[in-house]
Chain A
Amino acid sequence: MAIKSNIEELAIFGGARMFATPKPTSNLVRPDFDKFLDYSRTFFDRHQYTDDGPLVKQLEQRLAAFHQTKFCIAFCSGFWALALAIKALAIEGRTEIVMPSFTYRRMADIAAWTRLKPHFCDVEETTLANSAATVRPCINKNTALILGVHPIVNFCDIDGLVELAGEKNIPLLFDSVESVYESSAGRKIGSFGAAEIFSLGASKLVNGFEGGYITTNDAQLAQRLSLMRNFGLDVQGDVAVPGGLNARLNEIHAAMALAGLDDLEDQVARNRERYLTYQRLLAPLKGIRLYEFDESHHPGYKNIVIEVLDDWPLSRADTVSILNAEMILARAYYTPPLHRKRMAYPHVPVELPVTDRLAERFILPPCGHLVSNEDIADIVGLMSFISSNAASIKARLQQQGAQQQ
């Protein structure tokens, strides 16, 4: 693929798009089709397509073993897994959940569905995640739950949050959607806090079409959650716990996730290859910094995070727009942060200076199954072209903006 020879060739100025098909930031990993069919045979032969079927049970066992936890409960999505975990764990009579603002765009909505007020905390400059230090000032007599959220690269302050939650006697839940594969000091992510939440969405490390799961070592909590995902109904068909809904994972999605687990080691190797390609090619590019994985955590290398430094010649917004026009579906990493969004439900008003600053600095460039190392070379090549031609691009953007007005 030819990198542009002059700025008029940029798609944002009417040139041909660099890629014919979108280059996403979603993992969209495709497991082996025959493996998927092999797993499918199990539910097909038993004529059981949902309702705690054989593949869901098998998947839960595999995931519990993977995360080295006693229990794993599968759900129709990470969204509803998290909502049910919050409901099951929140201290009754209290009204607030402490969570970062610099995170998944639907996180506050999840809290609202559980009728808790989001109390947003700031994040650390160094980790892009919440920590004991950023959570502590948000804790008050109304705090029902603390949500620790692992960022896309590396961890939040696991030990600090565990200690703080213990000291304050408040349940701690980890959103570990982005840290499926990692270990902290040799211990697999999955067994920290009261429970940890994961997603099996198509954009995640394990693709189950849609889906989610919770890991825990707490037998009572596991039992409660497995009832809640099925309307709270026990084996007799009576409602044993309130506040349930249908959040069951179906067998087809479980078959997909199982086939994905079979391919996981290979996938991580492929992801690492992409990461190393970015690392190698971005190194000479002034103004862009690759946010590096701590390899001692055995990361899954699913997504790539880059920081737009002060000496990068264009704004982040313009950079993302230029890339998007070329079908490079790079995304701003958490913009706007949640506390800056309009919320039609109760929340605690806060000022979060670090979050505000960080929310202007990061980009997720394309990654995952649909992005080859050659694509990455082209993407970085284009960024290099943008950098070299920044002055004329800026002028042309201004001209275009003026024309549109």
Chain B
Amino acid sequence: MSTKDFALFGAPPAFAESLHCGQRYFPSWQRYRESFRGIFERQYYTEYGPLNQQLEQKLQQFLGVKHAICVTNETVGMMMLAGALGLKGKVILPAFAHIGAAQSLGWAGLEPVFCDADPDTHQIDIDQVAGLIDKDVSAIMGAHLWGGACDTKALAKLAEARGVQLYFDAAHGFGCAVDGIKIGNFGRAEVLSFHQDNILNASEGGCICTNDDELAARLRTMRSSAGAGKPVEVTKTVNGRMSEAQCAIALLNLEDFAQNRQNNQDLCKIYEAQLAAIPGLQLVRHGEVSVSNHQNVVCRVDESEFGISRDRLVALLKAENVHARRCFHPVLHRSIPYAQELPQYQSRLPIADSLAVSCIQLPIGALVSKQNVERICEILKRAHLEAPEILVTAVS
């Protein structure tokens, strides 16, 4: 075995077809066709149609939440929520999070306050949050990452004690639970994503979950969907609708949730077993959850132990047609426009900085087989063993 066996150095790639990190669960062609035949017969395409109503009911049941309000996508949901909560001034959020979380604040006229992350779970650093609350802060936005969750209890306690609102970017969190309570029930509201990368795929889509009737009524009015309850006073509306087409896909994938989650879990187990034997690769622990959807496999690359850097590993895998991802890189406080507009955070967020340069997300989901995972892990093992040579070999 030598570096010549790596595609990066001229060997044929390990996989003929690309492997991606996204979940990409999708119904069979037959179920897709039948579901859409129904839409074409009903000729009801959007605006809180029958599938939208059915999906919201089923989501409410599944999540055990009073209101699930389906939206175009998660970011639009986060923008609507920031508006509907009547937030002012500043909002605290983790710097190690998706750029959309920060952008949703910008659209709502709010300033982000970046908080560091927990090095083991990657969730928002609870200890730092308290120190960031000042008179201008109106809310804390937690983000449940990687099929894990923030410390919801500690955040709720803190938010209550300091008189600020609490809500969550729950893009990765569909089907996860904390002490048996499903994500969707925490804080004032939580926003789930139904993007193709997440376990409940609607191509695009999302839903805002809340147990607050008045907040739900405002959100339904803001979304602009005829027939979704009595309109109430809101500052401004949006087109936040999720179409019947998106709802059809989400409904079918919801039927398959248990088996899709099981598939993720099976794949995760292989990763866990295999990666345990590779020095310098540490799988992220799912913080706080009693049930995970196992939709993300994220590990930290310790360059000194593993032998090569995260970026080198990403390049090496890419050549094998394994599209592993850097996670939230660059981190929010180093992205446009925050790096320029809020320079005070450059030196304050060491954990987020370190996660952004050391974490890698590996493929898992509908298009990844157990054999694929075994093979990926083999490549990772070899990369570790051949690291000294990889470092000195020129890319072909």
Name A residues whose Cβ lies closer than 8 Å to a Cβ of B.
28, 30, 33, 36-37, 40, 44, 47-51, 76-80, 106, 109, 112-113, 115, 201-202, 207, 209-210, 231-233, 237-246, 248, 250-253, 256, 344-345, 369-370
Contacts and interface: CB of A to CB of B under 8 A. Distances in A.
A245 B24 contact: no
B244 A231 contact: no
Contacts of A47: 24, 26, 366-367
A245 B74 CA distance: 10
Given A44-B32, A252-B203, A345-B235, A209 B45 contact: yes
Interface stretch (B60-68, B102-110, B377-385): B102-110
B46 interface: yes
Contacts of A239: 99, 330, 335-336
Contacts of A244: 99, 103
B245 A253 contact: yes
Given A50-B203, A210-B46, A245-B100, A250 B246 contact: yes
Nearest to B238: A79
Nearest to A228: B103
Given A231-B99, A245-B107, 17 more contacts: A28-B43, A33-B37, A44-B29, A49-B249, A50-B196, A76-B73, A106-B237, A109-B236, A112-B235, A202-B46, A202-B243, A231-B103, A239-B99, A250-B203, A250-B204, A252-B249, A369-B43
A244 B106 CA distance: 9
B245 A106 contact: no
Contact of B72 (A28, A51, A210): A210
The 6 closest A-B pairs by CB, nearest first: A79-B239, A202-B45, A209-B243, A49-B203, A250-B203, A246-B75
A117 B330 CA distance: 34
Nearest to A78: B239
A125 to B, nearest CB: 30
B329 interface: yes
A345 B33 CA distance: 45
B98 to A, nearest CB: 8
25 contacts: A28-B43, A33-B40, A37-B33, A40-B36, A48-B196, A49-B203, A49-B204, A50-B203, A51-B196, A76-B204, A80-B238, A109-B237, A202-B45, A209-B245, A210-B243, A231-B99, A232-B99, A232-B336, A238-B330, A240-B336, A242-B336, A242-B337, A246-B76, A248-B204, A252-B245
Contacts of B204: 49-50, 76, 246, 248, 250
B331 to A, nearest CB: 11
Contacts of A345: 235-236
A209 B235 CA distance: 26
A80 B40 CA distance: 26
A369 B40 CA distance: 12
Interface string B21-65: 000101001001100110010010111000000000000000000
B6 to A, nearest CB: 22
Contacts of A237: 325-326, 329
A109 B238 contact: yes
B336 A49 contact: no
B201 interface: yes
Dominant SS at the B interface? loop
B222 to A, nearest CB: 9
Contacts, number: 139
Nearest to A209: B243
A253 B243 contact: yes
Interface string B206-233: 0000000000000000001000000000
Q: Is the interface of A mostly helix, strand, loop or mixed?
A: loop
Contacts of A252: 203, 245-246, 249
A44 B29 CA distance: 8
B144 interface: no
Given A109-B237, A238-B335, A244-B103, A40 B32 contact: yes
Contacts of B196: 48-51
Contacts of A79: 238-239
Contacts of B79: 113, 245
Contacts of A76: 72-73, 76, 204
Interface residues of B, number: 51
Contact of B36 (A37, A242, A251, A253): A37
A115 B83 CA distance: 13
Interface string B329-349: 110000111000000000000
A116 to B, nearest CB: 12
A30 B41 CA distance: 9
Contact of A245 (B76, B241, B329, B367): B76
A371 to B, nearest CB: 12
A107 to B, nearest CB: 11
Contacts of A80: 72, 76, 238-239
B122 interface: no
A201 B46 contact: yes
B366 A30 contact: no
Contact of B43 (A30, A44, A251): A30
Interface in B306-359: 325-326, 329-330, 335-337
B32 to A, nearest CB: 7
Contacts of B72: 76-77, 80, 210
Contacts of A253: 243, 245
Given A201-B46, A245-B79, A36 B29 contact: no
B197 to A, nearest CB: 9
A207 B32 CA distance: 19
A50 B366 CA distance: 16
A78 B104 CA distance: 19
Contacts of B73: 76, 246, 248
A238 B276 CA distance: 31
A202 B99 CA distance: 30
B48 to A, nearest CB: 12
Nearest to B106: A243
B382 to A, nearest CB: 26
A237 B244 CA distance: 31
Contacts of B195: 50
The interface centre, meaning the residue of B76, B99, B196, B243 with most chain A CB atoms within 10 A of its CB, is B243
Contacts of B40: 30, 33, 36
